[in-house]
Amino acid sequence: MYLIDSHCHLDDYDNLPQVLANAREAGVAKLLAIGIGDGPDTMHRALNLAREHEQIFASAGIHPQEAHQATPEHLAKLASLVEDPRCIAVGEIGLDYYHLDNPDIATQHAAFVAQMKIAVAVRKPILIHCRTSELAIPAAKQKYEPADAWEDLLSLIAEHWTPSGLPGIMHCFSGNEDQAARSLAAGFYLSFAGNLTYPKSTTIQAVAKSAPADRILVETDAPFLAPIPLRGQTNEPANVAHTARYLAGLRGASYEEVAAQTTKNFYELFPPTRGIE
């Protein structure tokens, strides 16, 4: 019985051999390394790791916080990277309205749509990042009018992604039950990270408890979002086991059942990864 970490940032580690050894010891057999790097110029790093390590697969994408860098040159580079069979998804992509210094909404929308089109062209899933504003920002200091990232995201998905019939992942799902239902209806899997274990994450916990078994995944988002009891520490893929155990408790299932189900779901979503141990 083993786990798959469906979202981690492996190029952030100086001690990657030890991180991978820790993952193996914890029963984490495969990892999806997210290829956003420090921006579009470094989004190839995850694919390089996937070429070097059989247990690693990669994605590539331009994060919404870097949407202003979604130039024709960088989009062409992305289109080339995702042709590689070791690159199994486009992402993480989406919308992030949280910070005042993020690219404006129109720029984020354009980058998101352009990358969805690339994913449709290569027939590969997308990995979605969605974070809405939670800040009480005085109107005089706002770069743009307050907006709901989830509403915009789901609208763009309906227009530019759903017609393709392709699936995707709502990475580090942090929405409510309505947003979960709409994501599921659009063909997405819900991936739960370490923040699922936090005491104040009651909305996410309610979603995780009732989500269809065949549409759930677990992830770390390492080196970020370490789960309880490691919150505040540098996260790593081995810790996905903590999230899986917590998810099992929420759902009234055994750890083994959650491990088996989330692994099966990952294989359904990414058939090329099946059978490579």
Kindly report the CATH number assigned to the domain that includes residue 135: 3.20.20.140
- β-strands 126-131, 3-8 pairing: unpaired
Q: Once rounded to an integer, what is the mean pLDDT over residues 258-277?
A: 90
C-alpha to C-alpha distance for 78 and 72, rounded to whole angstroms: 10
pLDDT over 80 (residue 19): yes
Q: How far is CA 66 from CA 30, 101, 109, 265, in A?
A: 28, 11, 12, 30
Q: What is the pLDDT of residues 39-59, one digit of tens each?
A: 888 999 999 999 999 999 999
Characterize 65-97 residue by residue with b for buried, 16 or more Cβ atoms within 10 angstroms of its Cβ, and e for exposed: bbbbbbeeebbebbbebbeeebbbbbbbbbbbb
pLDDT over 50 (residue 26): yes
Terminus-to-terminus CA distance in the chain, angstroms? Answer: 12
| pLDDT band per the 50, 70, 90 thresholds, residue 141 | very low
Q: What is the pLDDT of residues 156-198, one digit of tens each?
A: 999 999 999 999 999 999 999 999 999 999 999 999 999 999 9
Q: Domain total for the chain? A: 1
Q: Answer with the residue of higher pLDDT: 99 or 92.
A: 92
The most confident of the ranges 100-109, 129-138, 200-209 is: 200-209
Give the per-residue pLDDT at 191.
99
Which residue segment(s) compose the domain that 192 sits in? 3-273
> Length of the chain in residues, anyone?
277
User: Binding site residues for a divalent metal cation, as ranges?
Assistant: 7, 9, 92, 129, 171, 221
Q: Once rounded to an integer, what is the mean pLDDT over residues 257-272?
A: 97
Nearest alpha-carbon partner for 239 in 249, 250, 228: 228
| pLDDT band per the 50, 70, 90 thresholds, residue 147 | low
Q: Answer with the residue of higher pLDDT: 38 or 259.
A: 259
User: Binding site residues, as ranges?
Assistant: 7, 9, 92, 129, 171, 221
Give the per-residue pLDDT at 43.
94
Q: Answer with the residue of higher pLDDT: 115 or 137.
A: 115
C-alpha to C-alpha distance for 72 and 276, rounded to whole angstroms: 35
pLDDT > 70 in the chain, percent: 94
- If you average pLDDT over every residue of the chain, what do you get? 93
